[in-house]
Amino acid sequence: MGATDPFEGVVDELYGVDPREFVAVRDQRAAQARDRGEKHLAARIRKLRKPTTAAALVNGLARHRGKDVAALAELGDRLRRAHRDLDGDRLRELTHERNDRVRDLVEKARSLASGAVGETVAQEVAATLEAAVGDEDSARVVIEGRLTSALSPPDVFGAAWLPAGTPRGTAARGRSRARRTRQEAKSAEPTGSSAATEHAEPTGSSWRTRRSEATEAAAGAQSADSRRREAEVRARRARDEARKELRAAEREEAKARRRADAARAAFEAAEHEVRRHTR
């Protein structure tokens, strides 16, 4: 569809507003279309789904940090090439780059949020960004900034870094989910199926050795990243619990201070009475 299509304009507007305003703006745009006699357009607008908190944050990144999001998607191409070439060192390097880029974008998403971002939402944002690295369809919908829900990254070794167009296992499911997201706003775009045949894998013991080394390299980096994330989640939870305990202690301290002030005032009043009667 062209850029002047009225439906596309409404879609771009809706998925750029605060999620708390989504329903009101959607209903308003549908009513305006109905008043103009465009019943079909009004019906399409009413079907648009409100994005989840994580999806809205990623949509915000696509709009305000578009270059960073596009660079993350491009990183996926480089990772697939490294996996195709069975380059373990390169895979390790790019996996670390992916982790750094995802972590940086999650922090940028936190800064875009009007309020605090919970750990569950932050993890969904990270998973969606990783999906953009691992799958071309997911990358497209993330860059468009029209997500309605978080995406899940494909399996790292099931298909994530295989040449584009090689659906397998979770990767195929991830592509299907990304296509459904695109279809909520417009018809899904066809994808080529010949890319998988453009690059034949080498054969023989040398290939098996290189593949094993590349797999181990990527697995090590992925495992380290998973441990780091788990440690970060535990640390944040501990921090939040400590903050709650501190605030509770501060409230108790304030109450105790007020009781002490009241007791001191009562004592001074009683002391004054004693002195008055002993004169």
Reported pTM: 0.58
CB of 177 closer than 8 Å to CB of 156: no
Distance CA 255, CA 46 (A): 53
Place 194 in a pLDDT band, splitting at 50, 70 and 90. Answer: very low
Tokens representing residue 139 in the block: 């990358």
pLDDT in tens, 56-100: 999 999 999 999 999 999 999 999 888 888 888 888 999 999 999
CB of 29 closer than 8 Å to CB of 1: no
Closest C-alpha to 57, from 108, 131, 104, 13: 108
pLDDT in tens, 15-67: 999 999 999 999 999 999 999 999 999 999 999 999 999 999 999 999 999 99
Q: How many CB atoms lie within 10 A of CB 36?
A: 11
For 129-149, give the secondary structure using H, E and C.
Answer: HHHHHHCHHHHHHHHHCCCCC
Task: Quote the pLDDT of residue 135.
Answer: 86
Phi-psi region of 5 (alpha: psi -120 to 50; beta: other; left: phi over 0): beta
Residue 134 has pLDDT above 50, yes or no: yes
Tokens representing residue 117 in the block: 């971002």
Q: What DSSP element (H or E) covers 170?
A: helix 170-183
Name 94's Cβ contacts closer than 8 Å, sequence gap at least 6.
Answer: 75, 78, 79, 82
Please tell me what DSSP assigns to residue 196. Answer: G
